[in-house]
């Protein structure tokens, strides 16, 4: 009979612990708000490697840590980078501002998740479970039979497991609220190529209407100009060359006489061939 009463009491206490674990904001008042802060920046930089090293130095200076880091090349020449860091929540705004000085901010996003109510609820449930844990331990000391001891021990183990799970959730929220997360995307500055001017097509000449009268007039004008040029050239040469031509003619007469007198040889006249007669043929034979 005592065993039945003991088990029934344990069940009632456990049920009471579950019921009293429902969130109630009046039981525990949180001294401050728990907010999980997250930030994301996309910054345009001229030198990605230098910006990465500067960002890592900033994180170390604010007692932060690197969660992930990735650097890769895009387009074969330009380097990109992504850093995810954790920093103390009190330094979140300062680190965010320092990252903005690395280059030109292209995108910025800051979010916050208030987990104060969840943390208060977890504290309330933990307090109730701790109270039930103490009561069950008291019953464990009062057990007389092995079966009763095992039943009470199972209940105590289950309560301790719930306490461990809730305590882990509470610690996770507290840690996330103490450390903010910032994701920094570094994009290289790519100069815009100078556009080459497109060569404009050569316009086709506008056909000119045929006018034979104008053509004949132009031909006459060209002929007149050409005739005048030829006449001018001939007159110029006659004036400049005539004295020299006369001088050469005068000099040619004595030179010819001297040549015929001293150097000219009169060719001999060829002898007339004799005719072949019959008498000559007979003598030959």
In the chain, what are the domain boundaries?
14-188, 218-263
Q: Residue 171's Cα: distance from chain center in Å?
A: 43
pLDDT digits (tens, 9 = 90+) for 169-223: 767 666 667 788 999 999 998 877 666 667 666 776 676 666 777 777 777 777 8
What long-range pairs does 237-244 form, CB within 8 A, spacing at least 24? none
How far apart are alpha carbons 205 and 3 in whole angstroms? 118
Contact, 137 vs 156, CB < 8 A?
yes
Q: How far is CA 31 from CA 28, 119, 120, 168, 258, in A?
A: 9, 12, 10, 20, 146
| pLDDT tens-digit series, residues 69-127 | 999 987 767 899 999 999 998 899 999 999 999 999 999 999 877 777 676 777 777 77
């Amino acid at each position: 009979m005592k065993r039945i009463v003991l088990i029934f009491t344990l069940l009632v206490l456990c049920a009471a612990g579950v019921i009293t674990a429902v969130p109630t904001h009046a039981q525990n008042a949180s001294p401050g708000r728990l907010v999980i802060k997250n930030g994301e920046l996309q910054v345009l930089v001229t030198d990605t490697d230098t910006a990465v090293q500067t960002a890592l130095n900033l994180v170390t200076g604010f007692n932060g840590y690197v969660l992930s880091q990735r650097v890769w090349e895009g387009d074969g020449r330009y380097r990109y980078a992504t850093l995810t860091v954790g920093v103390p929540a009190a330094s979140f705004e300062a680190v965010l501002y320092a990252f903005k000085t690395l280059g030109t901010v292209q995108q910025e996003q800051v979010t916050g998740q208030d987990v104060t109510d969840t943390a208060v609820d977890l504290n309330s449930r933990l307090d109730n479970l701790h109270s039930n844990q103490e009561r069950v331990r008291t019953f464990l000391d009062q057990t007389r039979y092995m079966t009763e001891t095992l039943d009470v021990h199972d209940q105590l183990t289950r309560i301790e497991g719930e306490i461990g799970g809730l305590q882990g959730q509470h610690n996770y929220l507290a840690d996330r609220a103490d450390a903010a997360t910032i994701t920094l995307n570094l994009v290289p500055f790519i100069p815009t190529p100078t556009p080459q001017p497109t060569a404009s097509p050569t316009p086709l000449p506008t056909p000119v209407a045929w006018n034979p009268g104008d053509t004949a007039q132009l031909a006459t004008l060209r002929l007149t100009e050409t005739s005048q040029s030829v006449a001018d050239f001939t007159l110029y040469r006659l004036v400049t060359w005539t004295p020299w031509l006369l001088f050469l003619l005068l000099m040619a007469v004595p030179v010819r006489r001297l040549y015929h007198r001293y150097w000219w040889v009169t060719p001999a006249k060829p002898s007339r061939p004799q005719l072949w007669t019959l008498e000559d043929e007979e003598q030959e034979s």
